[in-house]
């Protein structure tokens, strides 16, 4: 892999860069919980039988107030600075979105709405314990959450009304959630062409369907700890090597599987800064984002950013 050469070329869908505007924050971060149910698909839950798929979703968003405040339940959305891009984040196996709160807050503080569904069988509180057998059903869950979020935003009234830019959507996830996001962005069996960027943290191919990177292929940011023993770095290198440009690999030197995305510093701070710059470049198309990515991702002895 070669060193990143940043330029104004390669912006998603041929769009031009734009200068930063005051609406890019920082913002206070509000949080609500939305309860979506996909009645077209079913899941067997221990003690409940076969039921329509429940997707309780934590939503963080730019809010009116002190930017130092985060996860303020029901805070008033800052609609005057929107509409904002949408990120759907997929949590890993036997966990919930909550441990990733600092990273998700960083995205919302930077001017993004973040929807993090709790998958019905792979979350830490699943009845009977987390179960990987449902993993292949999660990419359609992500698409369903995108649809419901856009429907709520398009409504004339409601908490999410007029909050989202339907043309600026990203997916992300970590571990099995990274595999989920990878599939919905690049697997021919699940690809959702509304997605304009994908950020995959320690993920891998699910092993179903074909990763053909169908056009238009969303720009890719892959993040991998080089000492990860849960998801071998080779798994990330495999899909990264197959992906077309534009693509970036953020290597966290000596880092493991989960801590760089939840608590470990300075790695978490690096992930926050690189991901925000990546999103700013390919969703908001803000001038100067490429240089910010390079500066944040190349830290001697800690991280490298390659293309």
Give 10-residue mean pLDDT values along the chain (307 residues).
Answer: 33 39 80 98 94 98 95 96 98 98 98 98 95 95 98 96 97 98 96 97 88 93 98 96 97 98 98 98 96 98 97
What per-residue confidence (pLDDT) applies to 10?
Answer: 36
Question: What pLDDT score does 19 carry?
Answer: 38
pLDDT attached to residue 25 = 86
Asked whether the beta carbons of 169 and 181 are under 8 A apart, the reply is no
Cis, peptide link before residue 260, omega less than 30° from 0: no
Neighbours of 54 (CB within 10 A): 17
pLDDT value at residue 23: 66
Torsion sign across C-alpha atoms 115, 118, 120, 122: positive
pLDDT at site 209: 72
Between strands 247-252 and 303-306, the pairing is antiparallel
pLDDT of residue 208: 72
18: exposed, middle or buried (C-beta count within 10 Å: 0-12, 13-18, 19+)? exposed
Q: Exposed/middle/buried for 3, CB within 10 Å: 0-12, 13-18, 19+?
A: exposed
Q: pTM here?
A: 0.92
The C-alpha R_g of the chain, in whole angstroms, comes to 18
According to CATH, the superfamily of the domain at 12-306 is Alpha/Beta hydrolase fold, catalytic domain (3.40.50.1820)
Fill in the DSSP letter of residue 11: -
For the chain, domain boundaries: 12-306
> Which tokens belong to 58?
């934590």
């Amino acid at each position: 892999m070669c060193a990143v050469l940043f330029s104004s070329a390669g912006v998603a869908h041929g769009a031009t860069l734009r200068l930063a505007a005051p609406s890019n924050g920082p913002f206070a971060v509000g949080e609500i919980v939305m309860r979506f149910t996909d009645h077209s698909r079913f899941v067997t839950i221990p003690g409940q039988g076969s039921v329509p798929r429940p997707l309780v979703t934590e939503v963080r968003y730019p809010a009116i107030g002190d930017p130092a405040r985060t996860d303020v339940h029901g805070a008033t959305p800052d609609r005057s600075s929107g509409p904002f891009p949408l990120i759907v984040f997929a949590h890993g196996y036997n966990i919930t979105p909550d441990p990733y709160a600092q990273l998700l807050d960083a995205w919302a503080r930077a001017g993004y709405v973040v929807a993090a569904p709790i998958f019905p069988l792979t979350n830490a509180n699943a009845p009977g314990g987390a179960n990987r057998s449902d993993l292949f059903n999660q990419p359609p869950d992500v698409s369903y959450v995108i649809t419901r979020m856009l429907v709520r935003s398009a409504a004339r009234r409601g908490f999410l009304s007029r909050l989202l830019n339907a043309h600026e959507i990203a997916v992300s996830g970590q571990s099995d959630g990274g595999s989920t996001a990878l599939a919905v962005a690049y697997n021919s069996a699940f690809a959702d062409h509304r997605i304009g960027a994908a950020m995959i943290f320690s993920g891998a191919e699910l092993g179903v369907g074909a990763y053909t990177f169908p056009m238009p292929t969303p720009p890719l940011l892959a993040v991998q700890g080089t000492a990860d023993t849960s998801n071998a770095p080779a798994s990330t290198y495999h899909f990264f090597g197959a992906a077309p440009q534009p693509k970036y690999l953020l290597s966290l030197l000596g880092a493991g599987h989960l801590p760089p995305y939840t608590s470990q510093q300075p790695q978490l701070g690096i992930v926050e800064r690189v991901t925000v710059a990546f999103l700013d470049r390919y969703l908001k198309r803000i001038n100067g984002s490429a240089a910010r990515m390079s500066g944040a991702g190349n830290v001697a002895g800690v991280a490298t950013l390659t293309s």
